[in-house]
Amino acid sequence: MKIDLYQVDAFASKPFEGNPAAVCPLEAWLDDALLQAIATENNLSETAFFVPTESGYHLRWFTPSVEVDLCGHATLAAAWVIFNALGSSAETLHFETRSGQLLVRREGDELAMDFPAKTLAPFEMHAEVAAALGGIEIEELLISDDIVVVVDNAGLVERLAPDMQRLKQLPGRGVAVTAKGDDVDFVSRWFGPKVGVEEDPVTGSAHTSLAPYWAARLGKQVLTARQGGARQGALSCVVEGERVVIKGCVAPYLTGKITLPNG
């Protein structure tokens, strides 16, 4: 049994930038344990699997250790595979996911994802979060499915050296640390050791809460953003009421086949 495998770099203008994702097109769903085993073997922050439906595609995402509810960069990667490797002529793709319907459309050289915006609420564990992030000074602390840590300069985000074991003890899916940018509207880094991803270079799903936060704070709907530490990627966000449109480029890296035993 062979399965096609594509590895692409999302939110990247060329290979070795942005966030790598594996994408496996399927004709029908395999057993969940096998999907997880493939994602574990790929050992990337996300592997996306999709199956055609009457109206589009059913899309699922797995980290090396768990299935997740939402992943932006692997959605961008899956759309790139459908448009480019599989030759879809559609202008907009419809994905059914655990987070509802997601749309991805072509916009010139970029792909644009339409996601539901997330609301942030105040969060009170300042001492615990600061300690997990190396004793940093926190300007504002918020939470949705991620803890969002706002700090007062982009340089502090760049220098972060968090304690992964302490991060695992915190509530939520992961921790996003963000600041106003110098050459972009805002910067961020995202850490998710609880879901098997110590640091994700570019986390599209995190921007469903980061973009509305910075849109309100900066008084603008269209924002530029950069995420990452040693490896970084670029994206733009448009906040449209209760939706966030997240745009980025994709760079292909690898095409291959997964070989599995029959049965």
pLDDT tens digits for range 132-148: 999 999 999 999 999 99
For the chain, what percentages of helix, strand and coil (3-state, to nearest 5) are there?
25, 40, 35
Determine the pLDDT at residue 263.
60
Q: Mind listing the pLDDT tens digit for each residue in 85-111?
A: 999 999 999 999 999 999 999 999 999
- Residue 235 and residue 251 in one domain: no
Amino acid in position 8 = V
- Residue 148 and residue 172 in one domain: yes
Q: Mind listing the pLDDT tens digit for each residue in 207-258?
A: 999 999 999 999 999 999 999 999 999 999 999 999 999 999 999 999 999 9
pLDDT band at 262 (very low <50, low <70, confident <90, very high): confident
| Distance in angstroms (rounded) separating the CA atoms of residues 77 and 133 | 30
Amino acid in position 31 = D
Determine the pLDDT at residue 201.
93
| Distance in angstroms (rounded) separating the CA atoms of residues 31 and 23 | 17
DSSP string of 129-169, one letter each residue: HHHHTTSPPPSEEEESSSEEEE-S-HHHHHH----HHHHHT
Average model confidence (pLDDT) across the chain: 96
Which among 74, 44, 75, 59 has a CA at the least distance from the CA of 196?
44
Determine the pLDDT at residue 117.
94
Q: What percent of the chain has pLDDT over 90?
A: 96
Mean pLDDT of 164-176: 96
Please state the domain count of the chain. Answer: 2
CB contact at 8 A, 173 and 160: no
- The CATH number linked to 7 is 3.10.310.10
Determine the pLDDT at residue 261.
84
Buried b (16+ CB within 10 A) or exposed e, 187-208: bbbbbbbbbbbebbbbbbbbbb
What CA–CA distances, in Å, run from 31 to 2, 4, 6, 100, 200? 15, 17, 20, 22, 26
- Residue 203 and residue 143 in one domain: yes
- Residue 9 and residue 101 in one domain: yes
- Residue 14 and residue 104 in one domain: yes
Determine the pLDDT at residue 202.
95
- Residue 82 and residue 131 in one domain: no
- Residue 64 and residue 172 in one domain: no
- Residue 34 and residue 79 in one domain: yes
Any catalytic annotation for residue 242?
Answer: no
Q: Which of 41, 46, 91, 137 is catalytic?
A: 46
Determine the pLDDT at residue 120.
97
- Residue 189 and residue 203 in one domain: yes
- Residue 199 and residue 225 in one domain: yes
Which among 134, 130, 178 has a CA at the least distance from the CA of 158?
178
- Residue 109 and residue 49 in one domain: yes
- Residue 16 and residue 79 in one domain: yes
Length of the chain in residues, anyone? 263
Strands 222-228 and 186-192: parallel
Domain that holds residue 42: 2-116+247-259
